[in-house]
Amino acid sequence: MIVCTLGDLVLDVIVRLQQPLQPGDDVAARTELIAGGQAANVAAWIAALGGQARWVGRRGGDDTAALAELQLAARGVEMLGPRAGRSGVVVSIVGPDRDRSMASDRGAGAQLDVSDLRDEWFAGCDWLHVSGYALSRPGGAVAAEAAARIARSTGARVSVDAASATLIAATGGTLFRERIGALRPEVVFATVAELRALGGPWRGATTVVKRGAGGCTVVSDGHREELPAVPADAVDATGAGDAFAAGYLLGGAALALQAGARCVATVGAMP
Rg over CA atoms, the chain? 17
pLDDT digits (tens, 9 = 90+) for 68-117: 999 999 999 999 999 988 999 989 887 777 677 878 899 899 899 999 99
For β-strands 78-80 and 52-56, DSSP reports them as parallel
Residue 101: the pLDDT is 80
DSSP H or E segment with residue 6: strand 2-6
Mean pLDDT estimate for the chain: 92
pLDDT digits (tens, 9 = 90+) for 168-225: 999 999 999 999 999 999 999 999 999 999 988 888 899 999 998 899 999 988 789 9
Q: What are phi and psi of 222, to 5 degrees?
A: 80, -5
Per-residue pLDDT, averaged over 8-15, amounts to: 91
Per-residue pLDDT, averaged over 109-137, amounts to: 94
Residue 40: the pLDDT is 96
Q: What is the DSSP string of 189-225?
A: EEEHHHHHHHTSSPTTSEEEEE-GGG-EEEEETTEEE
Closest residue by Cα to residue 189 from 207, 165, 167, 171: 207
Q: For the domain 2-8+37-87+109-264, what is the CATH superfamily, name and number? A: Ribokinase (3.40.1190.20)
Sheet with strand 157-161: strands edge to edge: 78-80, 52-56, 2-6, 127-131, 157-161, 187-191, 206-210, 216-220, 223-227
Cβ count near 101 (within 10 Å): 9
